[in-house]
Amino acid sequence: MAQFLSANVERLLNHVIGLDPDSQARLKKLQGKSLQVRLRELPWPILLQFSQRIDLSIVEQPDDLVKASCMLELNIETLQQLRDSSKLTQLIQEQKLILVGDMYVAQSVSSLFQELHIDWEEELSQYVGDALAHQTFVGARSALHEAKTQIEAGRSKLSAQLLRADGLAVGATELAHFSDEVDQLRSASERLSARLLRLEMAAKVGH
Amino acid sequence: MSDHAPQTEQPHSENTPTTTHFGFKQVETQQKVALVKEVFQSVAAKYDIMNDLMSLGIHRLWKRYTIDCSGVRSGHKVLDLAGGTGDLSARFSRIVGESGKVILADINEAMLKVGRDKLRDLGIVSNVDYVQANAEELPFPDNTFDVITIAFGLRNVTDKDKALASMFRVLKPGGRLLVLEFSKPSNELLSKTYDLYSFHLLPKIGQLVANDADSYQYLAESIRMHPPQEELKAMMEHAGFEQTTYQNLTGGIVALHRGYKF
Ligand SMILES: C[S@@+](CC[C@H](N)C(=O)[O-])C[C@H]1O[C@@H](n2cnc3c(N)ncnc32)[C@H](O)[C@@H]1O
């Protein structure tokens, strides 16, 4: 079920933006707005709806799709570049991105993630006290590791569940897609892990 | 529980009192309402944790799927009927935003209270109203809601036809009803396994966690007595819904029915 994926991605997004105390203010600009993202690699569009948090849905039937404030169509590789909101126009010109609707929404979402200032040490030191805050990076990485294993476990558990012989059955191609998505997610989290490591190094040097 | 006395005796017509099923038992129609109430009164506090345990957490995905199919958007007015502890309402509330409204309606005040507390803890207050109401006689004007959902609620309702008619009445033209409910597994083996689970394991878990095997025995029985896919679809059509369809989830253990009012 695609909802398994969307639930996890949603949790991850909200967790990450929850770590930046300023993100609520930026999220506020988006309240009541929605963004539809059509990744060419995915069978269904993704809908992000903004309130005091982000609700993410995967809409399988076109009729159920709610008209969003803004719609983006792009490849997964381009997704990465969206984090730089100044590049939007360039991406459109290069035909890497189709944007329909309110460009301001796309920009705000982009800057929401671009401007994330997560003080990992501060964040995590709350859990372990102020003692040698950099040690806590270890905790962050193991959380990440846990998330990854959870995703992996989910993939194998779900393969069986997904292959149902009824109306909602997910075909082999879709399952392959799903697997690809998981790979994407995993490499994204590996990149995050690498960034964490760099941060940790920087923190150590600073001490 | 089985020797629970009916609270009122006067039959509402000159006919002999009609009976209905309560789980596998036959009880007087009026009595079922009281019995169902008792069940949910007694499970309310442990309801959420039991849901996770009983469905291994999958109920969250079923509910999520339901919401993804609802077409709900900013500004909509949504009725989460038999909404219990408010799982669907929480998400609806965020999606409809300040210009929209969510009504969490349930016949049982204990369930409503747990729901209200939970939503308050989640910081959701401004656009959710809590209404104690019987699905059979909804206290709302005609053509009020853009979307109505009833998740794991319909099987507990005594007169389902009456309830569906009532939902049809309060739905706006163009609006849709989504019924998420246990159903009939399409596969014989799955059906058997599931029976085994719900009749043997479920009451035991209920006993262990909530110290209440009876209520969970009722839940298992009520699941079995609920009309299967095609029958429920026909009932919805009978109530006036159009373009009625259903989708089996998890092999038909659960089905999501939808219908529109035009
Ligand atoms: C199994 S719970 C489902 C709660 C919630 N929708 C969920 O999915 O978690 C069933 C709910 O239906 C309510 N209920 C039973 N009969 C009802 C009726 N006639 N009208 C309204 N609600 C009713 C019960 O009080 C209970 O809260």
The string of pLDDT tens digits covering residues A155-194 is 555 555 545 444 444 556 655 665 666 666 666 666 666 6
Domain count, chain B: 1
State the distance from the centre of ligand 1 to the C-alpha of B175, rounded, in angstroms: 21
Residues 6+ apart with CB under 8 A from A151: A8, A182, A185, A186, A189
B208 pLDDT tier (thresholds 50, 70, 90) = confident
- Report, as an integer, the average pLDDT of B107-113: 94
Is B48 a domain residue? Answer: no
Amino acid at B177: L
Q: Which CATH number fits the domain that encloses residue B74?
A: 3.40.50.150
In this complex, do B61 and A49 lie within 8 Å of one another by their Cβ atoms? no
φ, ψ dihedrals at A79, nearest 5°: -50, -45
Residue A123, pLDDT > 50, answer: yes
Amino acid at B50: M
Task: Encode pLDDT of A82-104 as tens digits.
Answer: 888 888 999 999 999 999 999 99
Residues 6+ apart with CB under 8 A from B66: B88, B149, B151, B178, B180, B256
B5 pLDDT tier (thresholds 50, 70, 90) = very low
Residue A111, pLDDT > 60, answer: yes
Q: What DSSP character marks residue A207?
A: -
In sequence order, the β-bridge partners of residue B257 are B179, B246
CB-CB contact of A140 with A152 (8 Å): no
pLDDT at A187: 63
Residue A130, pLDDT > 60, answer: no
Average pLDDT taken over every residue of chain B: 88
Is B140 a domain residue? Answer: yes
Is B22 a domain residue? Answer: no
Mutate to test the pocket of ligand 1, among B33, B43, B106 (most ligand atoms within 8 A of CB): B106
Chain A residues inside the 8 Å CB shell of B98: 31-32
- Report, as an integer, the average pLDDT of A3-30: 87
A201 pLDDT tier (thresholds 50, 70, 90) = low
pLDDT at B244: 98
B3 pLDDT tier (thresholds 50, 70, 90) = very low
- Report, as an integer, the average pLDDT of A134-154: 59
- A160 to chain B: nearest residue by CA? B250
Is B194 a domain residue? Answer: no
Percent residues over pLDDT 90 in chain B: 59
Is B252 a domain residue? Answer: yes
Task: Encode pLDDT of A26-64 as tens digits.
Answer: 899 999 999 999 999 888 999 999 999 999 999 888 888
How far off is chain B from A134, nearest CA to CA, in Å? 32
- Report, as an integer, the average pLDDT of B158-187: 96
Residue B114, pLDDT > 70, answer: yes
Expressed as residue numbers, the domain containing B153 is: 56-184+227-260
The H-or-E segment that residue A101 falls in is strand A97-101
Is B192 a domain residue? Answer: no
Largest CA distance in chain B: 51
**B92/B102 Cα distance (integer angstroms):** 7
Q: What DSSP character marks residue A120?
A: H
Chain B residues inside the 8 Å CB shell of A63: 71
Is B190 a domain residue? Answer: no
Is B121 a domain residue? Answer: yes
**B184/B74 Cα distance (integer angstroms):** 35
Cα–Cα distance list, B160 to B92, B144, B150, B244 (Å): 25, 20, 12, 16
